Structure 1
Amino acid sequence: MNKKIGIVFVLLLTIPLALSGCTKGNKTTVNNSLNGVWYEIFVRSFADSNNDGIGDINGIIDKLDYLNDNDPSTDDDLGINGIWLMPINPSPSYHGYDITDYYDINPDYGTLDDFQRLLEEAHKRNIKVIMDLVLNHSSSQHPWFTEAVNDENSDYRSYYDIMPEDAEGYKFDMQIWGHNAWNKIGNNYYYAIFWDGMPDFNYNSQALRDEMIKVATYWLEKGVDGFRIDAVPHIFGLGELPENEDYDSKTKDWWQEFDTALRKVKPDYYLVGEIWEANEKRAVYASNFDTSFNFDLSGEGILGMVKFERDFGRRNNGLIQELDMNYSAINKYSDNFIDAPFLSNHDTQRAMDFLDGDLTNMKLATSIYMTLPGNPFIYYGEELGMKGNKPDEYIREPFIWGDSYQTTWKPLDSNKDALSVIKQEEEKDTLLDYYRKIIRLRQNNNALMSGELVGIETISSKVVAYERKYEDETLIVVHNLYSNKIKIDKKELEKDYELGEVLFSNPQQPLIEDNTIELPGKCSIIFKVK
């Protein structure tokens, strides 16, 4: 969610997890229609096809083979399975999260015909496409809102939270994230949880609810495969309702109504939620969404483990313990939820920036989240090692192609020295090459793509180990978080199985002796079992 102020990210000590496919305790089955690796694209920054400096839909079409050329015999594409497009509707802002027309394409990006062609070309390559759907609020410049505030008899008046200044039960002076949640306009107040340019919709209005279902149906019928939903828990935000009303229940009821209606239109559509909340609240929405982003694994989660060389929670097998703790939370609400691990996105410090440009650490972090259950999401440019931190524009800088498709809407302030796609393809052992290899490894092994997760306890808090199991395939994944080599007893990894060949290792092979395994520093290793 784009906000005028930065959010202070707090490391939470519980990490939600739901396995890819159907999870029940530690059991997993596969839903192949939803499994895969996803790639987040900020269209403005990705690829410019007409030399106006702004990324566009046709640019994405021209670069689809970079993402997935649908040819298993090649290894010069990422091999992703789906793309998430950040907002593509008309908007007065550069980021697009304040929409002025829910039924059209931002003219900076192209036309509806261009978008239709993108869907067709992506689907030819077996790439699914989901679009950002911003349903919590519109732009203050949306015709619905301008009419609503200027005409109290307008049909659109009920679409927004517009209250007379003497209305009882409301805290018109409430501050959220350092700004007023209610904004004075004439003799009324309107509610806008993020900022005054994004007035919240009123989901007590059935007319508004019907309109939003109509919007989503419109795009599903055009061929999109689903939606990433912005600001899921804020449909009824703090201070938006009188104090005695149940915000959470009303919000959950809306998402149930929304999902039920859309399943009738397209039963297999994919619904991904942005629920930037503690695990217990995130879990509540598991029955309404196929997937929600695992914010606890990003930032100080996996990246913190790698940078500070300690397991999650600073205890042996801490990451896996935290993951296991959250099965019960998720399973209260759903047994077919898919986790969405990621390292960074358009609202957070870029992963390589957090890791101070350390390529070794970046490869290790990538190995961890690409070998966990769920559908991992890659933020565009992450595979190049792009950097960036707040304010948001520096997190959303142009993708670095090194050719004529380079966008120029913003200078590369944070990425002046970053290697382009062309440069990385000319060199060896680059981050781009590593992403291509680790994604192919995941795609070619059912245990990594769809298997259950079983933790392996080790003596050292510097070592994270776990099994990935699917039917008769079992892999043992080991990560050494420490900069130096570590020796561990071979029996620590052979609790239930005998180690077989090394399927994958980075940066080098472990030294395996009779009773010990010497793990290189900052390494990731995957063993087959005999």
Structure 2
Amino acid sequence: MRPLRGLSLCSAALLSACAGSSPTPAPAPSAPGNITLAAPAGDAWYRGAVFYEVFVRSFQDSNGDGVGDLPGLISRLDYLNDGNPATTDDLGVDALWLMPVFASPSYHGYDVTDYERIQAAYGSLEDLQRLCDEAHRRGMRVILDFVINHTSASHPWFVDSASSAQSPKRDWYQWRANNPAWAQPWDIYSQTNTWHQQDSGWYYGVFWGGMPDLNMQTPAVREEIKRLATLWLQRGVDGFRLDAARYLIETGGGAGQADTPETHAFWKEFSAHVRSVKPDAVLVGENWSETPSVAKYYGSTATLPGGDELPLNFNFPMSTRVIEGINAGNGGGVAAKLLEMKNNYPAGVADAPFLTNHDMVRLATQFANDGAKLGLAASVLLTLPGAPFLYYGEEVGLGNGNANNDESKRTPMPWSAAAGGGFTTGSPWYAFSSGRETANVEAQRSNPRSLLSRYRSLIHARQGSEALRNGGLRLFTATTGVSRTLAFVRTLDDEQVLVVHNFSNSQESVGPFDVEATTAEPLFVDPGVTQLSGGTGAWKASIPARSTGIWRLR
């Protein structure tokens, strides 16, 4: 959940790039960064896995009511991964992240009324069990959005808590007799009050009054949350995406509302509990912040490889750098972010890079449907270290709907250009985004030059290379100034993979790259990329505008 409703992904610095204006001239690049990021420690399945974010309501409707559901998602699993490594016509993802599927009064589900029950429009507990079984049969894992920072104001816990100052569940939420008047913590200019009035007092809800924050300082609440996590892990899910993870425990106004020591202590406690129930389960933190803050959510690696807090954390700053860099024709910002990660992240942890998610303006809209930019973004994401996350529809260039609201970022999946889009035989719950005549699965499935085919090829190349999946990274690109290309080598054991991306809008000669090898095997090369040549210490190539070359060096 993003901090501020209605906020575009475009920061002030990004607005000019989103509008297509020329970047401000920057100083010449410094010497190459030549930094090295270590390979992730341990052998957990999620390190290097490719995740796919699904909004069930918008993915596939099975019964004609216009609302996507779990049976519909099950019917599309072969599109995501058919379970056969020898085939290449599936997307090839390793895991699914389901946006909230618990009972809720809203379309989005981030205000839960019952954590033990599935949203009726999506199906039943049996449907979720079947989804997990069918996904597992194909080699995919399933994680659920676990929204525990807050509940719905209609949740029975809150109704009980609000009924009286003497309620047994009074301390399950934060109440005050008077209004403390804390502003929302993510914007120093915000005047939005986080305290909301009811007959029995003022309660805290950082996002809005309809979603009161649970009081995680109450032991009974912490135990209930752990009980619920156990329940879903025993039902077959493989972990949780943790919404609004920075805002869990408040100790005061201002800085006391985010990133508190108490919040970190709870995540360590919760993570230890999850590991005790299902040792290979994954937790993914939504900590929408800057790199030094995000880095702290891994916790300590002293006793647990990968960190004792949250083993994956979304890399919001990298998302911004990739999009800014592609718009500006500059790979240097991504290189600088990799250096900042090295300087802040604990050694051996696994990153969770992504391009956009359900709270952001869709990538195709930000790039004005520029196919070359969309293709380059896919290449960059799927060659970075960590566990990349794709947002449903990103692989076919799905853009925003025609309004400036969250629903327009979550429109139905375009399977075809036919009436109902292959999504439903009825009327879709929300209108399709424009452009689905070409931005749909059917139109792109058999076209080897389509964006969908590009994603499939990149993911399968990644799955076929342990260095791309789980290797360390040695950077060749300068970490200051403007760099028209981004180049690095991914290494694991005796496998080396050289990756070169051309961010510019012109042909670029790249190299020489000092990698000890005698032969170069192409894993993925765009049309017009010349053969890598030169040998040890002098590998060179020529790369067309906004294109990529990936080679295994032996």
TM-score (norm 1): 0.89
Cα deviation code 1:48-97 (max 9, x no counterpart): 01111000000111111010001122111101100000000011111000
**Do structure 1's residue 191 and structure 2's residue 204 form an aligned pair?**
yes
Q: Equivalent residue for 2:342?
A: 327
Post-superposition shift, 1:523?
1.2
Q: Is the 8 A contact 2:412 2:423 kept in 1?
A: no
Q: Is the 8 A contact 2:113 2:155 kept in 1?
A: yes
Higher deviation after alignment, 425-434 or 211-220 = 425-434
Pairs within 5 Å for 1:336-375:
336-375=348-387
Q: Is the 8 A contact 1:25 1:328 kept in 2?
A: no
Q: Letter of the aligned partner of 2:378 in structure 1?
A: T
Q: Equivalent residue for 1:316?
A: none
Distance 2:38 2:227 in 1: 38
Q: Equivalent residue for 2:423?
A: 405
Distance 1:451 1:338 in 2: 11
Q: Is the 8 A contact 2:330 2:482 kept in 1?
A: no
Post-superposition shift, 1:354?
1.1
Report the CA distance shift for 1:360/1:401 in structure 2 as closer, same or farther (over 3 A): same
Post-superposition shift, 1:427?
3.4
Q: Letter of the aligned partner of 1:92 in structure 2?
A: P
Q: Letter of the aligned partner of 1:186 in structure 2?
A: D
Q: Letter of the aligned partner of 2:423 in structure 1?
A: Y
**Do structure 1's residue 463 and structure 2's residue 463 form an aligned pair?**
no
Higher deviation after alignment, 205-214 or 24-33 = 24-33
Post-superposition shift, 1:187?
5.0
Cα deviation code 1:360-379 (max 9, x no counterpart): 11111110110011000000
Q: Is the 8 A contact 1:51 1:405 kept in 2?
A: no
Pairs within 5 Å for 1:483-498:
483-488=505-510, 490=511, 492-494=512-514, 496-497=516-517
Pairs within 5 Å for 1:228-239:
228-237=241-250, 239=252
Segments of 5+ residues of structure 1 without an aligned counterpart are 14-23, 314-318
Counterpart among 260, 269, 292 of residue 248 in structure 1? 260
**Do structure 1's residue 119 and structure 2's residue 132 form an aligned pair?**
yes
Higher deviation after alignment, 68-77 or 498-507 = 498-507
Counterpart among 209, 220, 224 of residue 237 in structure 2? 224
**Do structure 1's residue 110 and structure 2's residue 155 form an aligned pair?**
no
Higher deviation after alignment, 216-225 or 31-40 = 31-40
Give the secondary structure class of the aligned counterpart of 1:197: coil
Post-superposition shift, 1:2?
5.4
Pairs within 5 Å for 1:72-111:
72-111=85-124
Q: Equivalent residue for 1:529?
A: 553
Q: Is the 8 A contact 1:12 1:278 kept in 2?
A: no
Pairs within 5 Å for 1:136-175:
136-165=149-178, 171-172=180-181, 174-175=183-184
Distance 2:360 2:389 in 1: 14
Post-superposition shift, 1:29?
4.6
**Do structure 1's residue 508 and structure 2's residue 528 form an aligned pair?**
yes
Distance 1:3 1:327 in 2: 27
**Do structure 1's residue 290 and structure 2's residue 311 form an aligned pair?**
yes
Higher deviation after alignment, 264-273 or 424-433 = 424-433
Distance 1:431 1:456 in 2: 27
Distance 1:65 1:246 in 2: 41
Cα deviation code 1:121-179 (max 9, x no counterpart): 111111100000000000011111112111322222111111112xxxx7325355552
Higher deviation after alignment, 178-187 or 452-461 = 452-461
Pairs within 5 Å for 1:127-142:
127-142=140-155
Q: Equivalent residue for 1:19?
A: none
Higher deviation after alignment, 494-503 or 366-375 = 494-503
Q: Is the 8 A contact 1:3 1:195 kept in 2?
A: no
Cα deviation code 1:449-492 (max 9, x no counterpart): 1110001147971011000001111011111111111224x4x2
Report the CA distance shift for 1:479/1:163 in structure 2 as closer, same or farther (over 3 A): same
Counterpart among 218, 239, 262 of residue 205 in structure 1? 218
Q: Letter of the aligned partner of 2:318 in structure 1?
A: L
Cα deviation code 1:89-133 (max 9, x no counterpart): 011111000000011100010011111111111111111000000
Post-superposition shift, 1:262?
1.8
Report the CA distance shift for 1:357/1:109 in structure 2 as closer, same or farther (over 3 A): same
Post-superposition shift, 1:263?
1.5
Give the secondary structure class of the aligned counterpart of 1:306: helix
Distance 2:141 2:256 in 1: 43
Percent identity over the alignment? 36
Q: Equivalent residue for 1:519?
A: 543
CA RMSD across the alignment: 2.6
**Do structure 1's residue 433 and structure 2's residue 453 form an aligned pair?**
yes
Q: Is the 8 A contact 1:172 1:189 kept in 2?
A: no
Segments of 5+ residues of structure 2 without an aligned counterpart are 15-35, 300-308
Q: Is the 8 A contact 1:49 1:58 kept in 2?
A: yes
Distance 2:100 2:215 in 1: 21
Q: Equivalent residue for 1:7?
A: 7
Counterpart among 397, 416, 424 of residue 444 in structure 2? 424
Post-superposition shift, 1:246?
9.5
Pairs within 5 Å for 1:378-417:
378-388=390-400, 390-402=404-416, 404-406=422-424, 408-417=428-437
Post-superposition shift, 1:268?
1.3
Q: Letter of the aligned partner of 1:471 in structure 2?
A: D
Q: Letter of the aligned partner of 1:99 in structure 2?
A: V
Q: Is the 8 A contact 1:502 1:526 kept in 2?
A: yes
Q: Is the 8 A contact 1:11 1:296 kept in 2?
A: no
Distance 1:271 1:173 in 2: 30
**Do structure 1's residue 448 and structure 2's residue 468 form an aligned pair?**
yes
Higher deviation after alignment, 244-253 or 207-216 = 244-253
Give the secondary structure class of the aligned counterpart of 2:121: coil
Distance 1:487 1:209 in 2: 57
TM-score (norm 2): 0.86
Post-superposition shift, 1:421?
1.1
Q: Equivalent residue for 2:494?
A: 472
